[in-house]
Structure 1
Amino acid sequence: MSAVRRAVSEALWAMCAADSASMPVHWYYDVQDIRRDFGGWITGLKGPGDKHPSSILSLSNTAGSGRSAWASGAKRPDVVGHIILHHKLDLWKSSRGSVHYHQGLQAGDNTLNTVCSLRAARSLVAGGFTDVSRPDARAAVMSDYVRFMTTPGSHNDTYAESFHRSFFADWQDSRPTSPRQVLLFAEKRSKLKLSSSFPDGQLDAIGCLPMILPFILLSASANEEQAVSAAVEFVKLTHPHPKVPEYVSIYGRALHATLGGACVRQQAEHALRSLDAWDTCQSYSRKAARFPVSSEERLKVHQSAVNYLGLACYTKGALSSLFYLAHEFHDDVRGGILTNTNCGGENCNRGAALGALLGAGGAYTGAVVPQEWKDELRDARDLIPDVLKELE
C-alpha cells in the first residue's frame, strides 16, 4: 500500500471513529452531563441514552432550516417523516422534549452526515472519476444522496441538520432524481441562495465538512488547487452560504497537505493564523502543558479552549476548535478523538473533520485508529473496504 493510499485509508477510519465516539454525547453543552450520564469521561465507542440533557429536537423546524419558531411565510409541508427521516417525525414532535438526537443508533454506528460522507466516497470511486472536481462527479454524489435520503429505512439516525432539511424542502417541489437533473436543480438553487441578501445562517455550520472530505481524500494525488476546487464547488451545492467556501478552503488545504506527508502541527498553526486564533490557542496550549498527558487537569484546559474558541456549530469557531485540537494531538489519534468527544458541543462534525486530519497524519507517524475501534465501526466496515478496493 502506497503512503498516500494508507493516509487516505486512515483518514476515513479516523473520521468514522471520531464521529461515532462523539455520537452519544453530541451537543452536550455541559461537559459534567457527560460524566454523569456515562459514569466518567468517554473512553471508547458507546451507544446513546434514550434521553438527552439539552435536547431541543422538538423545537427544530420539520419543514426546513432552523427552529420552528423562526419559520416565516406560508406553512410548508413537513420534510421530516415524509421526504426524509421516514418514521421519525413522532420523535421530533415528542412532548417529552428530551429525545436524543441520535436515538436509533448503537455503539459503533455513525451519524447521518458521516454515513453520507462514506456514500459520497463510494459514489466517486464507483464512477471512476480521474478528476473529482468535474461536474459529473458532483452529479453522481448528489443523485446518490437524493436516493439515499428519500429511501425509507436507508439509515437509523433520528436527526438531520438544517442543510438536509433546507435542501429537501426545495427539492420536493420538482423531485429530480437523475444525476443531470439533480445537479441542475442543486446548481440553480445554490446560485439563488448565494446571491441572496439574507443568507441562511444555519448553513454556515461545521456540518459543511463531512461530505467534502471524500473530494479532498480522492484528490490526494492531484494538485492542491484541483483538490480544493473539488471541495468548494461541491459544498456550494449543500451549504450555499457566502462564508463557507473560504472555511472549506482553509480546511481542504490543510488536509491535502497532510495526505502528502506534511506535519499536522504545522498545518494546524497555519490554519489557526488564517482564522485569527493562533495567539489564543498558544495561551491554552501553554496552560495544558503544565499538566501531565492524559490527566483530567489537562482535559479541563482543552475543554475550556474549545468552549472559548467555538463549542457550537458555527463554522469559524468550530474550525478554530478543530485546529486547536489538531495542534495539540498531532501525534495522538486516539487521544485527539477522545478529547474532542469529551469537549462536547458540536463534536460529531468537528470530530469527523478532526479525525480525517489526524488519521492522515498518523499514517506517516504510526499513530493510527485502534484496531478494536475499527472492528466496532459497522458503517465504516461496510463501506470503507469498497472504497479502498476501487483505489487499488
Structure 2
Amino acid sequence: MTGSSSSSGDMSQVRRAVGEAFWAMCAADSASMPVHWYYDVDDIRRDFGGWISGFSSPGERHPSSILSLSNSAGSGRSAWSSGGKRPDVVGSVILHDKLKLWKSSSGSVHYHQGLQAGDNTLNVLCSLRVARSLAGGGFTDVSQPEARAAVLSDYVQFLTTPGSHNDTYAESSHRSFFADWQESRPTSPRQVLTFAEKRSKLKLSSSSPDGQLDAIGCFPMSLPFILLSASANEEKAVAAAVEFVKLTHPHPKVSEWVSIYSRALHAVLGGASVRQQAEHALRRLNVWDVCQSYSRKAARFLVSSEERLKVHQSAVNYLGLACYTKGALSSMFYLAHEFHDDLRGGILTNTNCGGENCNRGAALGALLGAGGAYLGASVPQQWKDELRDAQDFIPDILKTQ
C-alpha cells in the first residue's frame, strides 16, 4: 500500500479491512455465480430447491440464457451489432474452447458452465490478477501509468492463453477490447497501454458511445486500485480507479459511477460507516427517498424472513436488476445500506435477488467486507475455505501489504 501518516494500530485495521474486502468480493461473486442473470426469482427457488444459502455449482441449463444471441465478434448481441463482418474473438482470441457453447442450438446454455461451487467468474478472476500485478509490482502509487500498463499486459496474457480459466462467458467489455486488440496484438506493458489509451480516447470522443460498456461489470477490475490505495489520500485512490476503468470501459458516464463508488469504499476502508456512505451515494444517485420507503417496508418483517427478502427483491427489481451501471449501483448501495452490519445476510440477499448479481455482488462484498472488519466481523471461515480461486491469490496479495 502507498505511504500514510497513520499510526501502526490504524494501519493494521486498514490492512484487515482490505483483506476482508477481497474475501467478501470473491464470496459474493461465487455465491451468485450459479444464478447469475436469473431474472425471475422463482427460477432460483425452483432450480436450487429453495433460496441459496452458500456456494453451489451452476446447472447445465439456464432458464433465461441469451448466450446464443451474444455477439462472439465483439460487444452486444449479434443480431444488432455491427460486428457481423469482423472475425469471432470468442473461440480464437479468448475463450478458446467455448465457441461451441455460444453457438449451441439449445440456446439455454448456462453462462458459467464449467465452473464449480466456490469458483469465481471471469471478471473476479481478472480482478484477483489485477490485485496480484499491483501488489507484486513494487509501485509506490498504483495511480501511475506503469501500474495500468502492468495490469493490462497481464490481462492480455491471461485472456489470450488457452485453458487459463474455465468460465464460458466474457461480457461485452472483454469482447470489445479484444476485437480491437486482435488487429495489432500488442503484448508488452508499454505497447498494451499505448493501444488501450488510443482506443479509449477514440471511444470516449465518439458521438455514439457503446451502451454495453456502461455496465456494473466495470467494477471488479477497478476494485483493487481502490483497495490497494486504502492508505493513500482519497483523490489518489479515486484517480487510480477512474483512470484504469477508462481503459476497460471507455464510456463517458462510467467515470462518474466509479468515482461515487470509489469514494464510498475508500472511506469505509478508513473506518467510515457503510450505512452513512451508502446513504450519501444513494442521495447522489437521486434514489434515497424511494430506498427509504423500501427500507421501512422491509423493517415490518422479521430479519431473515421470506417476507423481508421479498421486499428487498422488489427494491432491487425497481432500482435496477440489469447490468446498466446507474441502476445496478443504486441496487447495490440499497443493499449496502440495509445490510451494513450483516455481511452474510447482505451477500446472500444479493444472490437471491437475481439479475446482474455477480458484479453487483463483487462491489457490495468489498464494501461489506471492509466495513465488517471494523465491527469485528469477517467472512465466515467455511466460505474462505471453499473459495479456491481466492485461496490461490489473496494470501499472496496481502503478504506484500
TM-score, normalising length: structure 2: 0.97
Q: Which of 37, 44, 53 is the matching residue for 1:34? A: 44
**Matched ranges for 1:293-312 at <5 A:** 293-312=303-322
Deviations 1:207-259 (A, max 9, x none): 00000100000000000000000000000000000000000000000000000
Q: Secondary structure at the match of 2:86?
A: coil
Which residue pairs with 2:72 in the alignment? 62
1:104 paired to 2:114: yes
Which residue pairs with 1:10 in the alignment? 20
Q: Distance in 2 between matches of 1:101 and 1:312?
A: 15
Letter in 2 for 1:216: I
Q: Which of 302, 313, 328 is the matching residue for 1:318? A: 328
**Unpaired stretches in structure 2, ≥5 consecutive residues:** 1-10
Q: How far apart are residue 163 of structure 1 and its match?
A: 0.1
Letter in 2 for 1:134: Q
User: Is the contact between residue 207 and residue 313 of structure 1 (CA under 8 Å) also seen in structure 2?
Assistant: yes
Which residue pairs with 2:99 in the alignment? 89
Which residue pairs with 1:127 in the alignment? 137
Q: Distance in 2 between matches of 1:225 and 1:71?
A: 37
1:195 paired to 2:205: yes
Which residue pairs with 1:260 in the alignment? 270
Q: Which of 158, 172, 176 is the matching residue for 2:168? A: 158
Q: Distance in 2 between matches of 1:74 and 1:379?
A: 35
Deviations 1:166-190 (A, max 9, x none): 0000000000000000000000000
Q: Distance in 2 between matches of 1:339 and 1:368?
A: 17
Q: Distance in 2 between matches of 1:325 and 1:120?
A: 26
Letter in 2 for 1:344: G
Q: Distance in 2 between matches of 1:36 and 1:2?
A: 44
Which residue pairs with 2:393 in the alignment? 383
Structure 1 consecutive aligned stretches of length 4 or more whose deviation exceeds 3 Å: none
Q: Distance in 2 between matches of 1:362 and 1:312?
A: 27
Q: How far apart are residue 128 of structure 1 and its match?
A: 1.0
User: Is the contact between residue 269 and residue 278 of structure 1 (CA under 8 Å) also seen in structure 2?
Assistant: yes
1:213 paired to 2:223: yes
Superposed CA RMSD: 0.7
User: Is the contact between residue 78 and residue 84 of structure 2 (CA under 8 Å) also seen in structure 1?
Assistant: no
Which residue pairs with 1:136 in the alignment? 146
- Number of residue-to-residue matches in the alignment: 391
Q: How far apart are residue 367 of structure 1 and its match?
A: 2.3
Q: Distance in 2 between matches of 1:329 and 1:310?
A: 18
User: Is the contact between residue 41 and residue 352 of structure 2 (CA under 8 Å) also seen in structure 1?
Assistant: yes
Q: Which of 332, 336, 342 is the matching residue for 1:332? A: 342
Which residue pairs with 1:22 in the alignment? 32
User: Is the contact between residue 50 and residue 99 of structure 1 (CA under 8 Å) also seen in structure 2?
Assistant: yes
Q: How far apart are residue 72 of structure 1 and its match?
A: 2.1
User: Is the contact between residue 272 and residue 323 of structure 1 (CA under 8 Å) also seen in structure 2?
Assistant: yes
Deviations 1:17-71 (A, max 9, x none): 0000000000000000000000000000001000000000000000000000112
**Unpaired stretches in structure 1, ≥5 consecutive residues:** none
Q: How far apart are residue 74 of structure 1 and its match?
A: 5.7
Deviations 1:279-329 (A, max 9, x none): 000000000000000000000000000000000000000000000000000
Q: Distance in 2 between matches of 1:151 and 1:330?
A: 39
Q: Pick closer, same or farther for the CA change 1:74–1:296 going to 2, 3 Å.
A: closer
Letter in 2 for 1:270: H
Which residue pairs with 1:78 in the alignment? 88
User: Is the contact between residue 156 and residue 187 of structure 2 (CA under 8 Å) also seen in structure 1?
Assistant: yes
User: Is the contact between residue 74 and residue 83 of structure 2 (CA under 8 Å) also seen in structure 1?
Assistant: no
Which residue pairs with 1:348 in the alignment? 358
Q: Identity of counterpart residues, as a percentage?
A: 86
Q: Distance in 1 between matches of 2:392 and 2:82?
A: 41
Q: Secondary structure at the match of 2:79?
A: helix
Q: How far apart are residue 368 of structure 1 and its match?
A: 1.5
Q: Which of 244, 247, 258 is the matching residue for 1:237? A: 247
Which residue pairs with 2:3 in the alignment? none
Q: Distance in 2 between matches of 1:382 and 1:232?
A: 27
Q: Distance in 1 between matches of 2:368 and 2:132?
A: 21
Letter in 1 for 2:293: S
Deviations 1:306-361 (A, max 9, x none): 00000000000000000000000000000000000000000000000000000000
